[in-house]
Structure 1
Amino acid sequence: MLFSIVLISTLVVINAQFGIDKAALYQNPCTSKTSCSACIQTQKCAWCMQPDFGDRPRCFQPDLKPATTCPEEFVVNPDNEEIMIRNWALSRGGQVLTGGGGIASGGTYEEEHQSSGSMSGHGSSASGGSAAGSASGSGHGSVVQVSPQHVNLKLRINEKHSMKVSYAQAEDYPVDLYYLMDLSKSMEDDKEKLSHLGNLLSDTMRNITSNFRLGFGSFVDKVLMPYVSTVPKKLQTPCDGCEAPYGYKNHMSLSVDTNKFAENVRDAHVSGNLDAPEGGFDAIMQAVVCKDHIGWRDRARRLLVFSTDAGFHYAGDGKLGGVITPNDGECHMANNMYTHSTIQDYPSISQINLKVKENAINIIFAVTQSQHEVYKKLSSHIEGSSSAVLSEDSSNVVELVRDEYNKITSSVEMKDTASGSVKVTYWSKCLGDTRMQTSKCDGLKVGDVVAFETEIVVTSCPADPKDRKQTFQIYPVGVGEALTVDLEMLCHCDCESSGPTFEMNSPLCKGSGTLACGICECHEGFFGRNCECNNKDLGESGLDAFKCRPDNTTDVECSGRGNCICGQCHCNIRDNPEEIISGQFCECDNFSCDRHNSILCSGPDHGVCECGTCKCHDGWQGSACECSSSIDECKASNGEICSGHGSCVCGRCECEIKEDVRYSGKYCEKCPTCPGRCDELRACVECQMYKKGPLKDEKDCASNCTLFVPISVEHVEYNEDEDEHLCTFYDEDECRYRFVYNETVEKNGTVTLHVRAQENPECPPKVFLLGIVLGVIAAIVLIGMAMLLLWKLLTTIHDRREFARFEKERMMAKWDTGENPIYKQATSTFKNPTYAGK
């Protein structure tokens, strides 16, 4: 128990020994830092490691005047530092600058130069190189699209460091295009079309770059139920003209002999499966990570065209077939076949995204219209990918690949692999004149140079010192080049472990501690500014450790404003000699009292600051002695203080506020919310002015209304400043009338009541209700009769028109009106012409 008390006391003394001042803490964040490491981790702070610096705060702001008196040779104030390791010039028109400064041409892109800033998983760092600012090239003809390539940085916490990164797309840059195709039965016509368009695809890409390689692979799905039928016969021929199902097959590695592409596509056979989604993610993962099998080049634009008309399985779907082992993201190829199709689950989207970023590959999802929305959303989660609509028979594949390649190469997006302790922000003008915060520029052409200004900020120091040296990359998406940044975070002071101000068992620490950065780090059992106290100095009960605390309710010694040295408080000394900390426990001071208009205790004429409280002189009061104690300014005209409705505070009236009554005015003489005498005077005003109300009888009115006689006015106006009160009421006829009253005190003390009333009340116009009702009834009858007459008129006109039409048609009839034209008699009569007339 005694050891715990001593340990706590020692820690508190060490933390308090630099004179932390609470008032200064809010103004200067440096003064609260008690170690060199904590000091330089605070923005714009410096540390003084002078051994005999005294009680003053060692952590200070060099720019804050007056500055500390620490000698310059003892100031620890590291600055951000940038050292350029490699800065080769950007390629221009397919040519690069040689080491000697001349132009080198004719070098092939196959001649790789591993230290030229190429990126493998954005984790490799280049070594060696030219001096800072040099414009030398690789000397091997390598193309440079990102400049600079390698930088060393030393940064302090929360201090921005700006650095320029340039990008230019080189002319005739190599392109590797791997065509990954779904060869399920539904894609049979697409395969045939692609085999015919293979040469056209090669020719089209060669128009873009002369250094072009093409490869081909296919996929179906895992050979498990329920993905494919496992009936032995179906495993051999799942459909007519189909070959056995498989997960992923590499038919043709990337090759300059693109004539073989059409042949390989033509020779590939379709297969069949059961469910709608396909195992495309397995194929993408293997095509991306199996660099040697596919033949991806380090220095080339890598395109993976993924062609399908169906959806995809992703991580977790493998459980349906009994596959529970997660995908490890490694290459598992043998004889150009994926060997772990039935062993590992499908990869997740995040795994695909990670591997695509690490290998700098652009995926183009060439899918049919029905699947386009799904793959469009998928492409938003995979860096550097895009999606486009493939026709039902893949006839537009050449145009699709060309257009998507142009989209990819016409824009650049900068990203980084910085950890959570580092924040990188990008600014650029792109190809315009306006600087804006962006990491992406569009509309680029071959040879256009885009400059990005990066702001790098270390936001926090990692707890593990090993993590304070990091390497990360700033890279354009889909390009196998990057700027490698070796970052050292300035979180530690060298004087804490070495240097002239580091000494173990230093005499300045009484031989019982280590001098580090000017302060003593005491050995176990010793404490004090110079380790001058030890456990033997404590009494037998150990109570001396509590002599620097006012009671047992706090662990803070000397109120946090002094040093507890062997059981006695030594208060801190302020930079301003007029500011003094005092008291047995350093609990008092003469500078932290309340202020008025930024003046302590309103100035020496009003009061003085004693132990944090203003002691006011005679005639002044208030927490900052800002108020006069005189009450003369609060007397109303009747001599009462605040009219008897308030109190005088600081020379001004503070009026009373009750439940329904609120006084106001300079002397609380006004009461807008008081009930007043309106209700009391109402009956007399009604009977005297309008012969209405409960006292409308002349005798009752004369006997009860003797205090005043109202003055008749046409319009009632009142003046609030003369203490007049306005009253408004409605009588039994719903007529509104208004009157004003006020009271005056005569010299003899009597109170006279004055009333001005409205001459004529404002009554609403009379409404003849019976007339309105009769009028409405009459209007309804008239409208009904009018509608009947109109109906009769219309029917009459219609009948006459129909009769006239009938007469007209009857007159135009061509048959005898006495004979039915459609009737034929049952007998026929014939005449013999020979006997005519005989």
Structure 2
Amino acid sequence: MFGSLGWVVMLLSATFMVTVNSSQPSSERLTGMNPCISKQTCHECIQTPHCAWCAAPNFKENRCFLPNVNTRIYALCPEEYNWNPDNFFSVKRNSELTKGGYIAGGGSSGGYESSEYGEYSNSSRSTYSGTHSSSSSGTAGARRQPAVQISPQEVTLKLRINEAHRISFKYLLAEDYPVDLYYLMDLSKSMEDDKTKLSDLAELLVESMSKITSNFSLGFGSFVDKVVMPYVSTVPKALLEPCPNCTAPYGYKHVMDLSTNTSQFADLVRNASVSGNLDAPEGGFDAIMQAIVCLNQIGWRHKTRRLLVFSTNAGFHYAGDGKLGGIVKPNDGSCHLDNNGFYTHSSKQDYPSISQINRIANDNKINIIWAVTEEQISIYKRLTEHVQGSYAGKLSNDSSNIVDLIREQYNAISTSLQMQHTASSAIKIRYFSSCLDPSDTLVETSKCDGLKVGSKITFIAEIEVNACPANRSEWKQRFNISPVGVNEALTVNLEMLCDCECEHKGHPLYEENSSNCSGTGTLKCGVCECNDNFFGKNCECNIQEYMNSGSDKYINFCRPDNTTVVDCSGRGVCTCGTCDCNKRDNPDEVIEGTYCECDNFNCAHEDNILCSGHGKCVCGQCVCDSEWTGSSCNCPSSESTCIAPGTTNGVLCSGHGDCICGECVCYEEGDKRYSGTHCERPPRQDISCEELNSCVQCQVYRIGNYSDTKECDSHCKKYTLKIVKTNDVNETIDTNETINEQLCIFYDEDDCKYSYVFYPNGTNELIVRAREEPECPIQIYLLGIVLGVIGAIVLIGLALLLLWKLLTTIHDRREFARFEKERMMAKWDTGENPIYKQATSTFKNPTYAGK
């Protein structure tokens, strides 16, 4: 007996505790369009969008109300008791966006400040030197401006449940952004030629990346597989040399720290020894996990673009595969490298899962580039769908295209922007942006492509809290909104407004054993939370006395059954097991019923008139006057409007339809149906354009299959023909009914277009309306055009020939005139050449006297 009594006491105590499950659909249905009415505690009220709570003691109205709708309640509640917290937003840090790069002044000649790009354990990482020294020659005397790519950087937000708030932030793609590239290579025997080619291309890789950024650091690591069966042969000899000229097998080895001094990269790659394993998949996931989580050992810098190039010609082992080798301990996601860079837990814990790789890469802002051979590219492209911010590229068999592949994938990464967040499942975030659209049209997207240096993108993050977490410590959360693979973020300090201060000890409106609660309950925000064995609005009812009275009414009390936790349907107050229904502002509106389940105002409306003005609302249902029927009393009960005029038999809808709400709904026969106001028109057999074409051709245009008028008239009697100048489809007839016309078009051998329409008239007679004249294309005389073109060509040729002759004649005459002029001006006779000398010489002796 005591056990039963205790169970009943607990049940009734829980029943009359003023706690309501706001997700109950029945309470929402019974309270109409106002979701606040059913909320009976302050925290439930403010967790409902737009609702306010009045915490005044002895308040007679609904405490939870809509301020903009229930203005009377809002006016009656004193301001100091009105609990309606607003969403609050403020910007905590907001540095201006900068592209970075070098600016005049300062003392650095290409160096990077350690506070911006991280602390390093050796000097080779702390300054920009080595193979890149030439690239900074033009920046002497300048200092580097740190890049700020996202703004603002930190905000504070207080948010009510299910009320979305939008935060606007900007992203600017920086120039000359530092890049960390860690090359993680499969060094099984099959990758030996790839290793050689990579060492040969090391200088080209550095040169190529130096064109992208002046601050480039490079690191190197290798992997094989777990040194246990069945992945690696454990025969003692094979453990020393698994293949000819091979080193002992290992899981993962970190070879070279990330460093801007890249000159040693080629030598380290060239000197790295290959090893061997048994199965086809490799232990690359172990290597990726260690290369990411061992931040200090690898040397990842703070504010850089982090790339991890994963090079292999095989598949991968993932979580669960370790059981084949007897390894059942899950991967813990922690760093386990010894002083020599070897992964110490390779044979102690399982491979990471894909989701672990995805999470750890995103948490550390690392983009993975899967550089794999052709036979593996398909599976790694599928892997990119599960590892956010990763890209897959096809590697040649000897890795000769690795430089181009890295450059192409880096360009794809740097020109694409995708937003992500670290918020919990209780928070819903949607992103909106116009990206680079010049029209600035916002669309819901978290990704923008086609960015260039200096591109500024504006995003809007819509943040909404779906529900208050059960753990109160989760009501305050700090999460980041950041681009994938970029180590900059917008930090959001979110506080969920899930309860009221007056529900906690120390607040003036929190009173234990309050006199307002008959001394048997705690007053919280103006309402009583009763102690065990007491219930009622003011805890005035003693459940033990109520049970001892011999009444069995306690079985139901103020709820119709045990499927609801809402007293009095959320529209009244339960007073010792009896519902006292709420009063409405409008005295004509009444809430009634044993459980306040009925009212006279929540019935169907027609044109905003309750029950169409033709009935009364009784418990949510319209009770119509005698002349009206229907759910909203909008249909006349008389069927006289469905009887065709002149009909004496009183048949509704001509016997071919049903009278519904004073109008005929005609029957359908297959794809045909009766028509007309009273379904008086029988269904007409469908006629197609093909059936009418021959008749229209012969009757209107005197062409077609029917050769003479007599034959045409004998076959074409099914319709009335009308000849018009133009055809307009869907005209109206005299009865003001819209008729459904069908347009028919056909063409003859001259491409002339013939058109007509047909339709049934008011008496179901077929009418054909045909265009008087066909529409024929303009005739083109092809022979004339050809002859004209030929003639024009001949005439143009003759004209050009004559022009050439004229110009030649003029030129010749001018040359001849110039020749004549020069001949007339000559100083010697035309028959004597002044420079000619005879071949013989004549001499005279002056002393010769001729004797």
How does the TM-score come out when normalised to structure 2? 0.66
1:575 matched residue in structure 2: 585
Q: Using the alignment, how far apart are the partners of 2:336 and 2:401 within structure 1?
A: 33
Q: SS in structure 2 opposite 1:338?
A: coil
2:694 matched residue in structure 1: none
Q: CA deviation at 1:598?
A: 5.3
Q: Using the alignment, how far apart are the partners of 1:396 and 1:611 within structure 2?
A: 79
The reply on whether 1:341 has 2:346 as its aligned counterpart is: yes
Contact 1:653 1:666 in 2 (8 A): no
2:480 matched residue in structure 1: 473
Contact 1:634 1:651 in 2 (8 A): no
2:549 matched residue in structure 1: 540
Question: Which segments of 5 or more consecutive residues in structure 1 lack a partner in the other structure?
Answer: 117-138, 658-663, 674-714, 718-838
1:112 matched residue in structure 2: 115
- Cα deviation 1:458-490 (Å, max 9, x = unaligned): 122212222221121111111122122111111
2:428 matched residue in structure 1: 423
Q: SS in structure 2 opposite 1:462?
A: coil
Q: CA deviation at 1:670?
A: 9.0
The reply on whether 1:508 has 2:516 as its aligned counterpart is: yes
Q: CA deviation at 1:112?
A: 2.4
Q: Using the alignment, how far apart are the partners of 2:199 and 2:637 within structure 1?
A: 103
Q: CA deviation at 1:260?
A: 1.0
Residue in structure 2 matching 1:384, options 389, 397, 403: 389
Q: CA deviation at 1:141?
A: 6.3
1:403 matched residue in structure 2: 408
The reply on whether 1:73 has 2:68 as its aligned counterpart is: no
1:734 matched residue in structure 2: none
The reply on whether 1:448 has 2:455 as its aligned counterpart is: yes
Q: SS in structure 2 opposite 1:26?
A: coil
Residue type at the aligned position of 1:575: D
Q: CA deviation at 1:649?
A: 10
Q: Using the alignment, how far apart are the partners of 1:373 and 1:551 within structure 2?
A: 61
Q: SS in structure 2 opposite 1:34?
A: coil
Identical residues among aligned pairs (%): 53
- Cα deviation 1:312-344 (Å, max 9, x = unaligned): 222222233333322222111111111122222
Contact 1:96 1:105 in 2 (8 A): no
**Mean CA deviation greater in 77-86 or 312-321:** 312-321
The reply on whether 1:521 has 2:529 as its aligned counterpart is: yes
Give the 3 Å change call, closer, same or farther, for CA 285–545 of structure 1 in structure 2.
closer
Give the 3 Å change call, closer, same or farther, for CA 466–115 of structure 1 in structure 2.
farther
Give the 3 Å change call, closer, same or farther, for CA 337–576 of structure 1 in structure 2.
same
Residue type at the aligned position of 1:429: S
Give the 3 Å change call, closer, same or farther, for CA 96–421 of structure 1 in structure 2.
farther
Residue type at the aligned position of 1:247: G
Q: Using the alignment, how far apart are the partners of 2:491 and 2:405 within structure 1?
A: 34
Give the 3 Å change call, closer, same or farther, for CA 292–615 of structure 1 in structure 2.
closer
Map of 1:363-382 to 2, 5 A cutoff?
363-382=368-387
Q: CA deviation at 1:77?
A: 1.6
Which has the greater radius of gyration? 1
Q: Using the alignment, how far apart are the partners of 1:176 and 1:507 within structure 2?
A: 70
The reply on whether 1:194 has 2:198 as its aligned counterpart is: yes
Q: SS in structure 1 opposite 2:226?
A: coil
Map of 1:285-304 to 2, 5 A cutoff?
285-304=289-308
Give the 3 Å change call, closer, same or farther, for CA 599–484 of structure 1 in structure 2.
closer
Q: CA deviation at 1:58?
A: 1.8
Residue type at the aligned position of 2:468: C
Residue type at the aligned position of 1:541: G
Question: Which segments of 5 or more consecutive residues in structure 2 lack a partner in the other structure?
Answer: 120-142, 668-673, 684-716, 720-851
Contact 1:90 1:96 in 2 (8 A): no
1:132 matched residue in structure 2: none
Q: SS in structure 1 opposite 2:511?
A: coil
Q: Using the alignment, how far apart are the partners of 1:528 and 1:488 within structure 2?
A: 34
Q: CA deviation at 1:507?
A: 2.3
Give the 3 Å change call, closer, same or farther, for CA 157–181 of structure 1 in structure 2.
same
Residue in structure 2 matching 1:265, options 242, 254, 269: 269
Q: Using the alignment, how far apart are the partners of 2:297 and 2:396 within structure 1?
A: 30
Give the 3 Å change call, closer, same or farther, for CA 577–11 of structure 1 in structure 2.
farther
Map of 1:658-737 to 2, 5 A cutoff?
none
Residue type at the aligned position of 2:89: E
Contact 2:117 2:301 in 1 (8 A): no
2:575 matched residue in structure 1: 565
Contact 1:179 1:217 in 2 (8 A): yes
Q: SS in structure 2 opposite 1:577?
A: coil
2:68 matched residue in structure 1: 63
Q: Using the alignment, how far apart are the partners of 1:593 and 1:380 within structure 2?
A: 52
Q: SS in structure 2 opposite 1:27?
A: coil
- Cα deviation 1:391-449 (Å, max 9, x = unaligned): 22222222222222222212221111111111111112222323322212222222322
**Mean CA deviation greater in 443-452 or 153-162:** 443-452
How does the TM-score come out when normalised to structure 1? 0.67
Residue type at the aligned position of 1:109: Y
Q: Using the alignment, how far apart are the partners of 2:641 and 2:192 within structure 1?
A: 102
Map of 1:56-205 to 2, 5 A cutoff?
56-64=61-69, 66=71, 68=73, 69=75, 70-94=77-101, 108-112=111-115, 142-205=146-209
Q: Using the alignment, how far apart are the partners of 1:462 and 1:71 within structure 2?
A: 31
Map of 1:212-223 to 2, 5 A cutoff?
212-223=216-227
Q: CA deviation at 1:96?
A: 9.1
Q: CA deviation at 1:282?
A: 1.7
Q: SS in structure 2 opposite 1:419?
A: coil
2:320 matched residue in structure 1: 316
Q: Using the alignment, how far apart are the partners of 1:405 and 1:554 within structure 2?
A: 59
Contact 1:109 1:299 in 2 (8 A): no
Give the 3 Å change call, closer, same or farther, for CA 573–304 of structure 1 in structure 2.
same
The reply on whether 1:47 has 2:59 as its aligned counterpart is: no
Q: CA deviation at 1:155?
A: 1.0
Q: SS in structure 2 opposite 1:563?
A: strand
Contact 1:411 1:440 in 2 (8 A): yes
